[in-house]
Amino acid sequence: MPLRSLTVDLARGHARQLLPAEVERDYLGGRGAIAWLLWYQLEPDTPPLSANNLLIFAAGPLAGSSGYATGGFTVGTRSPLTGGIAYGWAPGHWGAALHRNNVDVLIIRGEAPDWCYLLIDGDTVRLRSARHLVGRDTVATAATLSAELGGDVRVLAIGPAGEVGVAYASIVAEGQYLVEPAGTGAVMADKKLKAIVVRDRAPLPVADVARMQSVLQSIQQRGERHPTANAIRAIGSAGLLPAAIKLGALTSRDARTPADGLAIARMFSEIARRGGRQERGCAGCPLPCYIDLRTRTGETHPLPSLELIAGFGARVGITDADTMLTIADRCLRLGIDPAAAAAAITFMTEAQDEGLVRQRTLNWGDGAAVIAALDRMSQRREKRDILSLGVGEMQEAVWGSAAFAPQVKGLAMPALDPRALTEIGLAMATSPIGGDYRYAMAFEELVAEPPAWLPPPASGPRETEGKA
């Protein structure tokens, strides 16, 4: 069936259209449709931060069904960080709600005259003023719009970081799920689009219910038996941390020295023992990997992800549990990509060490300075904070720093060290979006025991066979 697109021009109105049948047939899933649209509908020299750039959201083919782990979405654009194609994605339920409103692909173009949000509710497509939401964080924005419009809406929003032009600002879905990697939030902000709200509806029917259930059951059974799945169920993506430490994939001081794996492991076990645990994984998922925990002062913060610990814990050297929980919360609320923020901070700390930057504002292991930097870059100021540029642009601003800037094609590298993980290194080097291995989901090396159902040769950390 041809994909159903909804195009919203933020200055002119909207239109529904069927894309040519070949897009659905030959370009599998959301990423494929986005690539096709950018190729055919975006002028070659369009600046990323301009009204003519496109911001395209697409849900996967199964989104909207009752199957677990199908409700997320992909978003693509021309990236202000790389000048090339950007993809980000988030799990959750927003993509499912989009599909349930008969939209496979949502194309945003133009620029609104003032801050607005988009509401999609069946046949109703409206732009409404978002003046009252400016300055609100992503969690508060989702809560406000849910209260105003009724609880059955799914909200994605940018936070204060996007509003003030942080280059690696993130979109956050449902006040819970960060869109990663970076690149798309800054484009949404440039269009003065604070949020996109979709009213949820009943699950869509599937053609062969029995077959779908049997596939979902078999995935669930595999997950029940595997130790890595059990670790992820207990502590989210940080369940891969012991393997990363063992393989030497955590490095510190902008990857100059091996990280203190013991200190990181101790901090994380302290985090994992915290009370007030609330699972907030995607509906029906047998592997709920998003978890909230309580800090010592009683606040609820998200469990830090693997990338956040590798970046702020190992690279920057923060080993205090509460500080790490606060950083995870700040990234979510301000709408900042954690991997890109950690890369910017490690890069700037090293530039200060090397005497390439005069002012000393950061030190290795100084969590308070990191939190202050995240807050500062998300506030409107006369002079733009250099930390808000992203590593690719920062290395151009700091003469002599290119050799130690953790970036590929302008996109920050997440902090798992590719020298220890060959598959991740290959993924970073070849990804079309820049240096982020998550484009290829190259996590097999961190799975302690390759699952029996993987086709041979089983992937081991030092193997090169079968990896490209």
Phi, psi of 438, deg, nearest 5: -70, -15
| Smallest gap from residue 163 Cβ to ligand SF4 (A) | 27
Query: Between 280 and 467, whose beta carbon lies closer to ligand SF4?
Result: 280
What is the contact surface with ligand SF4 in residues (CB under 6 A)? 69, 91, 281-282, 285, 287-290
Residue nearest ligand SF4, CB atom distance? 281
Q: Which of 284, 264, 115, 254 is nearest to 192 (CA)?
A: 115
Query: Between 184 and 228, whose beta carbon lies closer to ligand SF4?
Result: 228
Query: Between 117 and 443, whose beta carbon lies closer to ligand SF4?
Result: 443
| Smallest gap from residue 3 Cβ to ligand SF4 (A) | 23
* 440, 450 Cβ separation under 8 angstroms: no
Query: Between 119 and 285, whose beta carbon lies closer to ligand SF4?
Result: 285
Query: Between 288 and 450, whose beta carbon lies closer to ligand SF4?
Result: 288
Determine the Cα–Cα distance for residues 242 and 262; give it in Å rounded to an integer: 10
Phi, psi of 439, deg, nearest 5: -60, -35
Query: Between 195 and 289, whose beta carbon lies closer to ligand SF4?
Result: 289
Contacts 24+ apart (CB under 8 A), 440-448: 443/240, 445/243, 445/247, 445/421, 446/228, 446/240, 446/243, 446/244, 446/247, 446/249, 446/421, 447/228, 447/240, 447/243, 448/227, 448/228, 448/243
| Smallest gap from residue 57 Cβ to ligand SF4 (A) | 17
3-state secondary structure of 245: helix
Query: Between 94 and 347, whose beta carbon lies closer to ligand SF4?
Result: 94
| Smallest gap from residue 160 Cβ to ligand SF4 (A) | 25
b (16+ CB within 10 A) / e for 90-117: bbbbbbbbbbbbebbbbbbbbbbeebbb
| Smallest gap from residue 290 Cβ to ligand SF4 (A) | 6
Q: Give yes or no for a cis peptide into 406 (omega within 30° of 0).
A: no
| Smallest gap from residue 91 Cβ to ligand SF4 (A) | 3
3-state secondary structure of 167: coil
| Smallest gap from residue 441 Cβ to ligand SF4 (A) | 11
Query: Between 60 and 425, whose beta carbon lies closer to ligand SF4?
Result: 60
| Smallest gap from residue 330 Cβ to ligand SF4 (A) | 21
Tell me how many degrees the CA angle 331-354-181 measures, rounded to the nearest 5.
25
Tell me how many degrees the CA angle 110-116-122 measures, rounded to the nearest 5.
85
